[in-house]
Structure 1
Amino acid sequence: MTLRSVATGVGHYLPERVVPNSEFEKSLDTSDEWIRTRSGIERRHFAAEGETTSQMATIAARNALDMAGLNPDDIDAIVVATSTPDLTFPSVATMVQNGLGMTRGFAYDVQAVCAGFIFALANANGLILSGQAERVLVIGAETFSRIMDWTDRSTCVLFGDGAGAVVLEARTGTGSSDDRGILSSDLNSDGRYREMLYVDGGVSTSGESGKLRMQGNPLFRQAVGKLADTAEAALKKAGLTGDDVDWIVPHQANIRIIQGTAKRMGVSMDKVIVTVQDHGNTSAASIPLALSVGVAEGKIRKGQLLVAEAIGGGLAWGSVVLRW
């Protein structure tokens, strides 16, 4: 028998405030058509004043626990992926632990920007396979609206806030690709590309959080190839191909990147979960949000093969193959 990390619950949270593209027309030289054409985004959610990453993460976590039929103290570990923590420290994960009323286990954050949830999933899978935990709550949560330069029309219209969570539980399988759970992962990074996507502040530099800076066109060219390559690498590790995939669940950054990656992989867009039009780019929250929406809409069903892939600042990129 083979130990597998199986997803048994998923949930998400989006702030109440919905911001349509038209709202940016009041302060920027832009339009709804310009934003839709270049990104596929129609609207996004922004956190309310005083609403934090940990608060959103906690609500998403409760929803995932409810689906899994578990209580907070059934969980052994919490891994939160975020680039927009409430405070420099302590971690968002420990704040979620407290918010859930969880009095046991351990909790910590990982940071790989938009690829954060993929790195967190792989990390949580390692905890389960090594015997460190039997049940892990994996969360992606962001308030990117707090690090936007509202005068930069090329970036501030792209991002949104939200949170998504997945419960992973240790289950036994046969060791074949027919098993439910995480079948493989592929993680990568290359610090030479830092200037393509970064925040111009930090504790040991400016002492301030800074604002997001992005080189859109160079990043686009890197993204499509790297995303297709990492997805194919993870599939190969699992002994599978693109023909076996039921759903691609991509990082929701830009519809053109999503389409380009699917084309490179030879997978129809009919097999891609797309939520970018409603959420914008929610960074580490992007994939768990898409998973949760896909399940809620009845698209993602038990036993289906999924490939989740993402790329973010670093650059950091990776993918996970799992059977739902």
Structure 2
Amino acid sequence: MPRPDLARLGVRHRRIPILAIGRDVYLDSRLILCKLELISSTSPSVHPPLGSSSSKASSEQLALERLLDVLTVDTSLYLDAARLIPSAVPAMKDPAFVKDRKDYFGGPLGQQPPTGKEAHAGAPPAASAALLRAESLAELRYAASLLESTLLADGRHWILGTPNPSVSDIEAIWPFHWLSSMPGAFLDGSGSQEAALGPAQYPRLFAWIDRFNSAIRAARRGQPSLVNRMDGAAAAQAVQATAYFEIPPKDAPPVDPQDPVSRAAGLRAGQRVVVWPIDTGMSHKDVGKLVRLSSSEVVIEVAPSDDAPSVLLHAPRHGFRVRPFTEVESPRL
């Protein structure tokens, strides 16, 4: 659904969370975690320390972190987890929310069997909402079995054997952690009240979730003064009134001349471009002036109006698309 608080900054992107550091606004949790690591010198890092003898251990850890990210975000597991939101959740009874989910995912999370002319001869039978749910639950069980029988099999507390949770734990745990907070999320829709995914089948996985919850509570108790709430209008004004956080290196070209997309599309700094995610929320596109384009991120300048302060909007290259803007794009607000 449209985000009025983000629109105050000129941001059309609809997925949350976002991160603002000064007048630099960052999209996507993966990019957000990377940026937070850059300023974590005064607080504990969620990345494991470098290997003591060489960088090999760290490289392997970072590779595992990325692969776990692929498992939970770049596969169907994300959509499968969304399909398991119980119908009893109040938001699922709100027609506006259901319509928004359809727009967000590019289609309905559930479907009913076709009737009449829709059930033409030779077509595979359409899945009911209950069957779609069961299929998604099977995918979650497959991922749970992978973690239970490999990374958690030796009884370690955290994925990388670290004293505290790392990014690898965050990447791998979120679908199970998120759904475990919703009663009924792991029921298969057959009418049975026995969860198809729970501590009985995956004791190590659910013990890991319990430890993760304890770590979150301990972190909140240890930093009680970090939260300073403000409304959207005040937050937008605070962002727009500050200086930019990132200073680009002087020796790096704003737009990588060797980037394949840059070369194919003829992208150049100062050009008006459109940026959007290619998996979910793709109908909400951001238009702005291209500031930087590298192999890891695209940065554009956006503002809510011509006479309003602008911000720099950062999006990762992976999972996002950048193209020259034409009026044909007609990005939605």
Answer whether TM exceeds 0.5 for this pair: no
- TM-score, with structure 1 as normaliser: 0.29
- TM-score, with structure 2 as normaliser: 0.29
Q: Which has the higher strand share?
A: 1
